[in-house]
Amino acid sequence: MKNSVPVSKIMTKKLLTLTANDDLVTAEQLFKKHHIRHIPVVEGKVIKGMLSYTDLLRISFADAVDEHEEYVDTIVYNMFTIPQVMVNDVVSVNSETSIRDVARFLSKKEFHALPVVDNGKLVGIVTTTDLINYLLEYIEG
């Protein structure tokens, strides 16, 4: 396995994002519709935070709603804003950071996604799933 393969080779480049003005109902719908677990919160191309599906579960009974249902109980969501629920102190990497370094970093932290930022602009996101898929591709040859 090459030690210096950049994370840009495995990161997701077509991003779904939220803004601080979006609501948590919209976030819930994006998580379920696209089967994702992390959404960067941006202002323009600049990352301001990261919202995870787990963040929503902490404040709601979202897991009590079937993932395939469109209906979301909005009562709890209307009590909070995205900036109140998202992680604000976001750690990021750049697109040239090696996959190995990203894997080492994520293996030691309690989160499972890193935004990829070049010159102050969000260009991608890399998740533990991306790393596992890369490893499987390598192993399976």
Q: Read off the pLDDT of each residue in 109-129 and give the average, rounded to a whole number.
A: 94
pLDDT > 90: percent of the chain: 72
Q: Read off the pLDDT of each residue in 57-86 and give the average, rounded to a whole number.
A: 71
Q: Where are the beta strands (DSSP E) in the chain?
A: 38-43, 46-52, 113-118, 121-127
- Show the domains of the chain with their CATH numbers: 7-140 (3.10.580.10)
Does position 69 have pLDDT exceeding 60, yes or no?
A: no
Q: How far apart are CA 4 and CA 106, in angstroms?
A: 17
Res 63: pLDDT: 47
Does position 72 have pLDDT exceeding 60, yes or no?
A: no
Helix 99-108 × helix 128-140 angle, to 10°: 130
130 or 3, higher pLDDT: 130
Stated pTM of the model? 0.85
